[in-house]
Structure 1
Amino acid sequence: MEKNLTITSPVMTKKAFAECSGLREDQVRGQIERGYIPVKYIGRLVLVNVALLMLECMEEDGKRR
């Protein structure tokens, strides 16, 4: 199942990331706690760093080819 997604912000809330990625919020939280999903702290707010995650994915994909 292919899904088109347009990212308009380099960061998003955990809830928004969960909805976009198809993961549950508790799964996103666990992945953040393990360091698998990069975050940006703005005060007490924790935002998923989508820009860095996309960059890491593209770099990893390039290493596999």
Structure 2
Amino acid sequence: MLIIAVQWVIVALCATINLCEGNEMETGNLPLSVNSQNVPLMTRQRFAQLIGLPEGVLNAQADKGYWPMVKIGKYSFVNIALLNKQLLEREFKL
């Protein structure tokens, strides 16, 4: 299951790179023009939208420790900076 989630992250990161080059895609009323390399933290809701997972699935995975999280006060955020670092360090096999 984690492999599938990582694949979704890669797809989402590729999509955000293309979106930041001037192409803007919308999901509902929320534009997805976020460059994830410049955003160190992101809410669970926004991250779920960007990678295309239902919010409940992302919350369950985050609670199990599948996603790097940072708690600030009563809010928890997905640590995008650490996730990017982990994905770049990971060895992928085709």
Q: TM-score range by the shorter chain?
A: 0.7 to 0.9
CA RMSD of aligned residues (A): 1.7
2:63 is aligned with 1:33: yes
Question: Pairwise mapping of residues 16-55 of structure 1 onto structure 2 (< 5 A)?
Answer: 16-55=46-85
In 2, distance between residues paired with 1:20 and 1:38? 16
Identity of matched residues, %? 32
Deviation (angstroms), 1:34? 1.1
2:44 is aligned with 1:14: yes
Q: 2:90 aligns with which of 29, 38, 60?
A: 60
The TM-score with structure 1 as length reference comes to 0.83
Moved over 6 A (4+): none
Corresponding pairs, count: 62
Q: Report which of the two structures shows the higher radius of gyration computed on alpha carbons.
A: 2
Counterpart amino acid of residue 31 in structure 1: Q
In 1, distance between residues paired with 2:85 and 2:60? 21
In 2, distance between residues paired with 1:11 and 1:61? 24
Gaps of 5+ in 2: 1-10, 17-34
Match for residue 15 of structure 2? Answer: 4
